[in-house]
Structure 1
């Protein structure tokens, strides 16, 4: 399949300081992305048409379809009308488990979370994360991670309309970044990129440009990341879920400022001792 455009230039009428002018703006593309296993569609997501192999790996892990990147044999994105059908070939044993899981689902599988499974999915237990493989994280690491995330967001620099998710390893910097119109999609793509690079979640911190809802915590925990940093604030359920996972959650990270909501023990002494 040929490379898909991730942006479009559209006409606009802009008002600036009381002056109205005609012009143009670059906006991100968005289209239906279907994930199909064994020839049957499992879910359809509205997403930016980029990094689709990473998306397939990350989505499959976050959904519990696979437990290891080795469970996927091949990923083939195929143009399908106005969208893309990402066909994922699984190992036989994984495919059999998926078939059994689908039989237990209530409602149409293409809607993502729906029916009875949506309630179970929202409240599913999260895995406990291990101790960080890099030791303690420092305030300067947090500042550096968020600054690096902003610098690396080339699509957002063009459009000012997409989310970013990055994987920051202290001492190495930002080793992976993925962008998408959807914050969950950006994180799924990042998870896939980390998996395919042969890295482990415990080696670094997940940093995101969005608010922290429960799904973002669930996905980071499934990756195995013990530290999650965001530019915005978390929800109450996200905080409770991060506590359940034993994760360090840092929000409202802007410049030198940040707020710690869970797991202050992973942050250097002096910061942790000041957290109530």
Structure 2
């Protein structure tokens, strides 16, 4: 079993890390044999102290961060909570988060919402819980930074480019990606980033969260609870996601592909400082989920 302090973090995903993908023989449209790489999907059961909380379907990397981020985003771990250990058992496919004091989450477990998250997301308790206490900074978002981030992220080696069928989430500052996580569910990838922020004490106040997934209510809520004032995606929106973003003052930008994007919340915080004629369209070889 690994402890939290024993794990080395990567800034970007390693598409060739053993156990994340496997090669499978198949046949193409003409009946010719082909070998293709597919991502793994396995269960991970998360415990908080002695209580089983949830079983998530995940690719299996960074189980500690996924557990910490999930519990943090569910309001089961407070910001000042002292985590004494995070123990991962690969054979049992479990991760146990232990805290210094007993946690109060019994009522939450009696109320569950199945969200629109791929791999089926779950929110415990009230979906909107905690948002009334959120005050997001009015971070200016520069269009030139968005284009630079999109270009750099699209060229970063990843499981998506290796095998597809996966989402990516990147915590960014200015035009620099800081931490990049992937998973079969976009909510899992976000939770891994949240876990990294919780473990390292990283503030979201001057950050932007980039995702390849849809901008749904769950994604907007997670971003706001993480204290990140801007959420950007190469995919589209849901109406409730936009409403919540406008309610909490979160800048929401979607359909970021090449030199195009749409801003549906926070227009007054967007700085259009880029010469669009100098921004190249997205090359097909770098195209990711939702780009076509």
Do they fold alike, i.e. is TM over 0.5? yes
Secondary structure, aligned partner of 2:90: strand
CA displacement, residues 228-249 of structure 1 (integer Å, 9 cap, x when unaligned): 0001111000011111111000
Q: 2:87 aligns with which of 76, 80, 86?
A: 76
How far does residue 40 in structure 1 lie from its aligned partner after superposition?
Answer: 2.1
Task: Render the CA deviation track for 1:134-165: whole Å, top value 9, x for unaligned.
Answer: x5211111112222222335111111111000
- The CA RMSD measured in Å over matched residues stands at 2.6
Give unmatched runs, 5+ long, in structure 2. Answer: 3-16, 116-121, 275-292
Q: Cα distance 1:219–1:20, how it changes in 2: closer, same or farther (>3 A)?
A: same
Q: What TM-score, normalized by structure 1, do the two folds share?
A: 0.83
For the residues of structure 2 that align with 1:50 and 1:104, how far apart are their CA atoms? 27
1:252 maps to 255
Structure 2 SS opposite 1:36: strand
Give the paired residue count: 253
Calculate the TM-score normalised by the size of structure 2: 0.79
Quick one: structure 1 residues 63 and 269, their matched pair in 2 at CA, closer, same or farther if it must change by over 3 Å? same
8 Å contact from structure 1 (residues 130, 226) kept in 2: yes
Which of 212, 218, 223 aligns to 1:220? It is 223
Aligned with residue 126 of structure 2, among 115, 121, 129: 121
Q: Distance in 2 between matches of 1:242 and 1:129?
A: 12
Change beyond 3 A, Cα 1:155–1:129: farther
Q: Retained in 1: the 8 A contact 2:208–2:232?
A: yes
User: 5 Å matches for 1:111-190?
Assistant: 120-124=125-129, 126=131, 127-132=133-138, 135-170=139-174, 173-190=176-193
Match in the other structure for 2:31: 20
CA–CA separation in structure 1 for the residues paired with 2:33 and 2:18: 28
SS of residue in 2 equivalent to 1:201: coil
Which of the two has greater helix per residue? Answer: 1
Quick one: distance in 1 between partners of 2:65 and 2:80?
Answer: 10
Alpha-carbon deviation of 1:253? Answer: 0.7
Once residues 80 and 179 of structure 2 are traced to their aligned partners in structure 1, the CA distance between those partners, rounded to angstroms, is 17
How many angstroms apart in 1 are the aligned matches of 2:81 and 2:125?
Answer: 27
Q: Helix, strand or coil: the match of 1:203? A: coil
Matches within 5 A, 1:87-106: 87-92=96-101, 95-97=102-104, 101-103=105-107, 105-106=109-110
Q: 3-state DSSP class of the match of 1:179? A: strand
Contact 2:144 2:273 in 1 (8 A): no
